Amino acid sequence: MTQSSTRPMVSVVIPHYGGTEILGDCLTSLNKCIYPNLEIIVVDNDSPDDSVQFIKSTFPDIKLIRSEYNRGFAGGCNFGVQHAKGEYLLILNNDTIHEPDWIDRLVKMMESNPKISAVQPKIKNYDNRDYFDYAGACGGFMDKYCFPFARGRIFNTVEKDEGQYDEAIQIFWASGTAFLTRKDVFNKIGGFDETFFAHMEEIDYHWKSQMLGNEIWVEPASVIYHKGAVTLPVSSPQKTYLNYRNSLILLLTNYSVGTSFQLIFPRFLMECISLTKEILTFKWGHAFAILRSWMWILSHLSLLKRRRDILNQDKLISPKLIFQKSIVVKYFIGKIKKYSELEW
């Protein structure tokens, strides 16, 4: 990795909470990237291990920012961005490995169109590299009930990468696993809403960006590999809680009042069905997580109102970017398992 003033500086912001091995692999991979003007920032979220000493001794050129407490993904990124000098920000998970040219390709895509505020790479699974990764795959979308899915992954069905999604296209959200964004846009939006703590804060960010008239894209020629769910496993009830709660926050605050009111009742019915399923299969932790998400919403109505007050919900998003049907119905009843099978 060399420094050069001929290309815009990219500040890589990596929030970190424990795990020296995964972080070491990520930083070693970044140091092999061919992009000539990088600033790498690691935000240590009060790791319970020796991560701080590991970074200082093994990667002394890395800009290390220490937090006195765990700010979560959203807060960790915001804290790191305060110290970033680059024109572009690269939000990155600490459990990723990268092709050498991946950043260069993202920057070229960003510079090709001033309307693009964020672009993500193709994200493949680290352990099974013939397949997409669960977290973002090849570009994110969302149905009208705020259930996210991606090109290459719908719910727990992950597709094999056979080049079927190699076209760069406009998407609704770029994965928080890795995406490049403009720092001026990030600051104008106010960064990530730390209410989310982790999960779906990037969807909220990209939604707001599109309200400002920007576009979100995926560049499949840029490729990284994600180890996945290292900090919070897929089976964790805490992940279930955050996913349900945060998608409800999106539905209740990012739409107009009329649209939110129209959608909340069928969404609640779907959640009741999901809750019943968890109870019948004796998954008590996940059942309680769903109930916790409802309780959080009911106990934070004033916070939700404040979010609504600062958003311009009347700014319409193109119907081609929000799936106007239910991805839940299509997947579980219609048995549609691939993005390419969806009819928009």
Q: What is the pLDDT of residues 241-280, one digit of tens each?
A: 999 999 999 999 999 889 999 999 999 999 999 999 999 9
Spatial distance between the Cα atoms of 235 and 232, rounded to a whole number of angstroms: 8
pLDDT in tens, 312-324: 666 667 667 999 9
Q: Which pLDDT value is given to residue 231?
A: 62
Q: Which pLDDT value is given to residue 320?
A: 76
Q: 308: pLDDT confidence band, cut at 50, 70 and 90? A: confident
Spatial distance between the Cα atoms of 266 and 264, rounded to a whole number of angstroms: 6
What CATH code would you report for 10-226?
A: 3.90.550.10
Burial class (CB in 10 A: 0-12, 13-18, 19+), 266: middle
Task: List Cβ neighbours of 284 (8 Å cut-off, separation of 6 or more).
Answer: 278
Spatial distance between the Cα atoms of 302 and 204, rounded to a whole number of angstroms: 19
Q: Scanning the structure block, which residue is given the tokens 């926050």?
A: 249
**Phi and psi of 123, rounded to 5°?**
-115, 115
Spatial distance between the Cα atoms of 284 and 300, rounded to a whole number of angstroms: 24
Q: 2: pLDDT confidence band, cut at 50, 70 and 90? A: very low
Task: Enter the tokens of residue 264.
Answer: 């909340």
Q: Which pLDDT value is given to residue 235?
A: 79
Q: What is the mean pLDDT of residues 76-97?
A: 98
Task: Give 287's Cβ-side CA count (13 Å radius).
Answer: 11
Q: What is the mean pLDDT of residues 214-220?
A: 97
Q: Which pLDDT value is given to residue 200?
A: 95
pLDDT in tens, 274-304: 999 999 999 999 999 999 999 999 999 999 9
Spatial distance between the Cα atoms of 117 and 184, rounded to a whole number of angstroms: 9
